[in-house]
Structure 1
Amino acid sequence: MIFSRRFFAYLSAVLFSTIIGFSFMFVKLALRYTSPLDVLADRFTLAFLFSMIILLAAGIRLSIHLRDVLRFLPISLLNPCFYFLTQALGLTSLPATEAGIIQALLPIFTLLLAAFLLKEKTNGIQKFSIVLSVSGVLFIFLMMGGHLGEARWLGILLFILSTLSYAGYNVLARAMTQKYRMIDMTYIMIFIGFISFNFMALINHLIQGTLSQYVQPFFHPLFFISVLYLGVFASFITFFLSNFALSEIQASKFGAFTNLTTIISIFSGAVFLNENLYYYHYVGAVLVILGVIGVNIFSVIRESETANPKNQL
């Protein structure tokens, strides 16, 4: 083969980060027309319908049983349930540019959770890099402190929780990718997201007596385009890409590709949504990215030294 599975795993990680980078902008656009719960329900409805079309058109046979769905329920609480819910709620009061900068902490959270849950060790330079990344985010929000209301701070907290939940998923899903096929994992997660978010949205509409508004946003072309992107690309395709990437590369290395997500989300928010960027956004983003690069470069060096102990002094 000209290209190995490892090459396609890294390519999948790049594509995943690119799609997610633009997804914040489309969530912001969709939220102009309906609530976060409805956006999630519509997003996963389209993802589920698209996945069924692919399943039938390609003649794919799944190896999924009820016990497999039950085994995925705990990890699905992190992703898609908690991750997407806190993300959508956070984006109601947080610009896509700032959300992307917080998302850049994903590899840091992943590394910390891997150290806590999997007992992976870090060296002094990696610890310094972690502090550097966190200080970048803190610098931005300290500089903005005088301009942040309660809603904005709540959005920041929700997006930090969203990023933390995805980091937890990255660590736990690594083991799952060794036991299940990528296609089976993707369909299980899409199905759980479809059932969970539609159930929550329907209950919310029944309580408020607004069931007639459940499908009303689809009549707005921009909303339909937004949830179509979110459902097909940022849900179904990214689940497949991330599951494949995690089957070949370590969770901490996969998380490093959120640097690309950060750059794209900042670009899309500033250019397409006319969100303001100030000097401290750039300074903070650079600190975050330098920290993440430092963590991963010295992770590679550490692995190389472990694999070749004769090279050590």
Structure 2
Amino acid sequence: MLLPQEKKLAYAMVVVNASIIGLSFLFTKMALEHASPIDTLAFRFALSFAVMSIPVLLGQVKLQYRGKPTGQALLLAAAYPLGFFTFQTYGLKHASSSEGGILYAFTPVLTLLLASVFLKEATTLRQKLSIFLSVFGVVFIFTMKGSGIDWSNVTGILLLFLSGLAFAGYSVLARSLLRTFSPAEITYLTLGVGFAAFSAVALAGHAAAGTLGSFVAPLASGGFLVSIGYLGILSSLVTALTANYALSKMEASRMSVFSNLSVVVSLAAGALILGENITWYHAIGSALILAGVTGANMRSRRNKAKPRAATPTG
């Protein structure tokens, strides 16, 4: 059983995670004004890996991979960040960002299915309905905005679906591996793989095109540096640490539903920072998302009365 302090910290972590992701869309737009998606990812993961390497090199963060299933951990990194960002980047070339938002909202459903099959996680009917309620809240907002899914964009839709599946797979596999690895070990390995892979692809592309000079050109922009700072430190490093800690303490299906909170945060940020209007359907959709997240994470009275068997939490 989790201690009350651990439970509160795990929930605090996923709320922080969703809040950071909700704001990341603004900074991603800023970064993409100066660099290509692959270059942005290269700088983003280079910074996140470099920042986490500091306490590792100073001995403040202890890492021990010997005797642990590093092959499975590399498979985890292949799902996220490699698979998720690759599918998302190329998917958005063939589909709109609204379609991406709608399809990403179904990630908690995919996580629920994968967790029930591979982790044998059991959820109540109320929790299942609550997860679908949060998904409906996101779809409701995008639909009322006049957005929808153009089913003629088969390639884009398939790639965006695969990006959600990759993230769901990451959540399920990470939940399992965090019984062996610490959150810091998983985070450092996945960030390192992301840094190496995206940097290699970006540099190889510029070398082939003879444009290596343009690779570093965005670093002269203050706006790009600010956006990469947010994306690299907060939206990559901090979100990875918070997600991995939460997954070590709570079920993947419970945690995944919090991802839809990022839509609420994104709407609030758009209103406060960009002066965008909040309409009645934004308010209703946000209320549905919040209700779904709350319902999915409430214990039934039966579970409160009868303690559950302890589960390995890493």
The bucket for the TM-score relative to the shorter chain is: 0.7 to 0.9
Structure-1 residue corresponding to 2:204: 203
- The answer on 1:94 being equivalent to 2:87 is no
Identity fraction in percent = 38
Which residue type is aligned with residue 291 of structure 1? G
Q: For structure 1, which segment, 281-290 or 86-95, has the greater mean C-alpha deviation from structure 2 after superposition?
A: 86-95
SS of equivalent to 2:35? coil
* Per-residue CA distance 1:199-239 (angstroms, 9 max, x = gap): 22123223433222111111111111111111112112222
Deviation (angstroms), 1:281: 4.0
- The answer on 1:116 being equivalent to 2:117 is yes
* Residues 104 and 289, structure 1, Cα contact 8 Å, conserved in 2: no
Q: For structure 1, which segment, 117-126 or 195-204, has the greater mean C-alpha deviation from structure 2 after superposition?
A: 117-126
SS of equivalent to 1:54? helix
Deviation (angstroms), 1:106: 3.9
Deviation (angstroms), 1:181: 1.9
CA distance in 2, matches of 1:125, 1:5: 24
Root mean square deviation of aligned Cα: 3.5
Deviation (angstroms), 1:36: 0.8
Structure-1 residue corresponding to 2:304: 304
Q: Specify whether residues 216 and 247 from structure 1 end up closer, same or farther in structure 2 by C-alpha distance, changes over 3 A only.
A: same
* Residues 100 and 263, structure 1, Cα contact 8 Å, conserved in 2: no
SS of equivalent to 1:4? helix
Structure-2 residue corresponding to 1:41: 42
Structure-1 residue corresponding to 2:18: 17
SS of equivalent to 1:257? helix
Which residue type is aligned with residue 304 of structure 1? K
* Residues 30 and 224, structure 2, Cα contact 8 Å, conserved in 1: yes
* Residues 21 and 100, structure 1, Cα contact 8 Å, conserved in 2: no
* Per-residue CA distance 1:259-308 (angstroms, 9 max, x = gap): 542221222234434556554444444334433433333x5556436648
CA distance in 1, matches of 2:278, 2:103: 15
* Residues 90 and 155, structure 1, Cα contact 8 Å, conserved in 2: yes
- Structure 2, unaligned runs of 5 or more: 309-314
Structure-2 residue corresponding to 1:230: 231
CA distance in 2, matches of 1:10, 1:268: 21
Which residue type is aligned with residue 12 of structure 1? M
Structure-2 residue corresponding to 1:257: 258
Deviation (angstroms), 1:32: 1.0
Q: Specify whether residues 211 and 152 from structure 1 end up closer, same or farther in structure 2 by C-alpha distance, changes over 3 A only.
A: farther
* Per-residue CA distance 1:46-84 (angstroms, 9 max, x = gap): 112112222234544421359754331211121111223
CA distance in 2, matches of 1:22, 1:99: 16
Which residue type is aligned with residue 210 of structure 1? T
CA distance in 2, matches of 1:262, 1:74: 29
CA distance in 1, matches of 2:205, 2:274: 29
Structure-2 residue corresponding to 1:311: none
Q: When the two structures are superposed, what TM-score results if normalisation uses the length of structure 2?
A: 0.80
CA distance in 2, matches of 1:141, 1:80: 26
Which residue type is aligned with residue 230 of structure 2? Y
Structure-2 residue corresponding to 1:194: 195
* Residues 47 and 235, structure 1, Cα contact 8 Å, conserved in 2: yes
Within 5 Å, which residues of 2 pair with 1:212-223?
212-223=213-224
CA distance in 1, matches of 2:207, 2:36: 14
* Residues 257 and 293, structure 2, Cα contact 8 Å, conserved in 1: yes
SS of equivalent to 2:97? coil
CA distance in 1, matches of 2:154, 2:34: 23
Q: For structure 1, which segment, 110-119 or 61-70, has the greater mean C-alpha deviation from structure 2 after superposition?
A: 61-70
Deviation (angstroms), 1:42: 0.5
Structure-2 residue corresponding to 1:4: 5
Deviation (angstroms), 1:142: 4.2
* Residues 52 and 237, structure 2, Cα contact 8 Å, conserved in 1: yes
Q: Specify whether residues 59 and 150 from structure 1 end up closer, same or farther in structure 2 by C-alpha distance, changes over 3 A only.
A: same
- The answer on 1:293 being equivalent to 2:294 is yes
Q: Specify whether residues 88 and 276 from structure 1 end up closer, same or farther in structure 2 by C-alpha distance, changes over 3 A only.
A: farther
- Structure 1, unaligned runs of 5 or more: 309-313
Which residue type is aligned with residue 187 of structure 1? Y
* Residues 256 and 293, structure 1, Cα contact 8 Å, conserved in 2: no
Q: When the two structures are superposed, what TM-score results if normalisation uses the length of structure 1?
A: 0.80
Q: Specify whether residues 59 and 237 from structure 1 end up closer, same or farther in structure 2 by C-alpha distance, changes over 3 A only.
A: same
* Per-residue CA distance 1:66-116 (angstroms, 9 max, x = gap): 975433121112111122334455677426xx8667655443332222123
Structure-1 residue corresponding to 2:312: none
